[in-house]
Amino acid sequence: MIQHLFTLIWNRRQANFLLVTEIFLAFVVLFIVSSMLVYNRQTYQAPLGFDYEQVWTVDLDNGSTTQTSAQIVSTEQQILQRLQSLPGVRYAALTGSNTPFSNNHNSSNLRREPKGEGPNGNIYRVSEDMRDVLRLPIRAGRWLDKRDQAGARIAVVISEETQTALFPGQSAVGQIFYAGERECQVVGVTGPFRGDGDLSEPKPSFFAYANPQDTTLSNLSRLLVRVSPDAGAALEKQMSTEIMAIGKGWTSSIAPLAEQRATMLQVGLAPLVALGLVCVFLIINVALGLFGVLWQTIQQRRAEIGVRRAMGATAGAISGQILGEILVVATFGLALGLLVAVQLPLLGVFNVKTSVYLTAMLLAAGLIYALSTVCALYPSWLAAGIHPAVALREE
């Protein structure tokens, strides 16, 4: 029966060419959309590598260009110490503008030798309490502390991705590498860190010790503050008041890190939603096309169906043939689509795991078969209901 259906469709290949092409294009689009959805779903479910709940960002603005770098750094240290002493504040750390979910970046070329090329890595200049603020895990070595103030090199804690990229198969603790023109020494290794948001993959990154005595760090104008669960508007107002009291003319803006995460996630999901709407529109058009072709085919084959019924074919057999024919047409279109889709994992396009492409192929093929079945149900039911005498009389 199956061989007969394939032979029948092959003999009508010219009549079914446009339908096969339509299914082929629909599969390709569904495969692309499914790949993106599977990839982003897996990325979203991966751990971020830090705890953002109950963490606030505090942006500092000195509001003046007359202050020297030393004066700015001194004021920032006073603000940091004052906020750390407030009831409701558990930990506070000074850092740059490229905090998690900020969509700001500070990157440099990382390499083991003074000259050459290597992977780009994100740099986070932080004070020593950042580990407690973000609850960063330490996989090896230790975190940054006051022992690193007098070092000849910049003390850093690197992520596992950085260790894999620069020191594959060995421990990075105690090793030296270069970030741009700066010489860095690894004192610890933390886990994967995805500061660019839920839809980003872990990238090479490291945390560099921000020496409070270094007057060149006046660009560290942001604080991350871990607050108690019951903290609210009262604490926020008190923090703003203290900042303005210490820094004359200074202002601040405070926002929960969780809100920034939600905003970044909405921005990241917007293209996926738009692509999904286009995909839905395409599916509707394919469904209408399948339904129309099947309807026309049944009207043209009423005499044939009547003869089969007169020869003893059951309604179920007629319905099964119509359904089988459209599934065979779908199979031809899917075969062409799979030939195209399988090239992506074979060629390693976009550096995406093969499992993502395979899952997307299964999803896209399942949707095409489900769509074909749904579109064929009603026409096959109509074909099964044709009375042989009426069909032959019309002929």
The answer to whether residue 255 is domain-embedded is no
Q: What's residue 281's pLDDT?
A: 87
* Residue 14 or residue 300, greater confidence: 300
> Do residues 241 and 355 both lie within one domain?
no
The answer to whether residue 51 is domain-embedded is no
pLDDT of residue 89 exceeding 70, the answer is yes
The answer to whether residue 238 is domain-embedded is yes
pLDDT of residue 360 exceeding 90, the answer is yes
Structural domain boundaries, residue 332? 2-46+264-394
The answer to whether residue 108 is domain-embedded is yes
Distant-in-sequence contacts of 229-235, Cβ < 8 A, 24+ apart: 229/54, 230/88, 231/54, 231/88, 231/89, 235/86, 235/88, 235/89
> Do residues 385 and 245 both lie within one domain?
no
The answer to whether residue 55 is domain-embedded is no
CA–CA separation, 94 and 129 (whole Å): 8
The answer to whether residue 258 is domain-embedded is no
pLDDT digits 0-9 by tens, 307-324:
666 676 676 777 777 787
> Do residues 212 and 270 both lie within one domain?
no
pTM, two decimal places: 0.81
In this structure, the dihedral spanned by the alpha carbons of residues 205, 211, 215 and 218, taken in order and rounded to 10 degrees, is 40
Indicate the DSSP class of residue 324.
H
> Do residues 97 and 8 both lie within one domain?
no
> Do residues 226 and 328 both lie within one domain?
no
pLDDT of residue 1 exceeding 60, the answer is no
Amino acid, single-letter form, for residue 63: G
pLDDT digits 0-9 by tens, 196-251:
989 988 889 999 988 766 655 556 788 999 999 998 889 999 999 999 998 888 88
> Do residues 140 and 8 both lie within one domain?
no
Q: What's residue 114's pLDDT?
A: 85
Decide: residue 13, CB within 10 A, 0-12 exposed, 13-18 middle, 19+ buried: exposed
pLDDT digits 0-9 by tens, 164-207:
999 999 999 999 999 988 899 999 999 999 999 899 888 899 99
249, 272, 301: which is the final residue of a domain? 249
> Do residues 24 and 82 both lie within one domain?
no
Q: What's residue 39's pLDDT?
A: 93
- Which residues, at least 6 apart from 383, have a Cβ–Cβ distance to it below 8 Å? 298, 301, 305, 318, 319, 322
The answer to whether residue 40 is domain-embedded is yes
> Do residues 38 and 110 both lie within one domain?
no
> Do residues 271 and 315 both lie within one domain?
yes
> Do residues 108 and 151 both lie within one domain?
yes
Of 258, 167, 252, 170, nearest to 206 by C-alpha is: 167
Number of domains in the chain: 2
The answer to whether residue 155 is domain-embedded is yes
> Do residues 89 and 129 both lie within one domain?
yes
219, 249, 279: which is the final residue of a domain? 249
Q: CB atoms < 10 A from the CB of 208, how many?
A: 21
> Do residues 34 and 120 both lie within one domain?
no
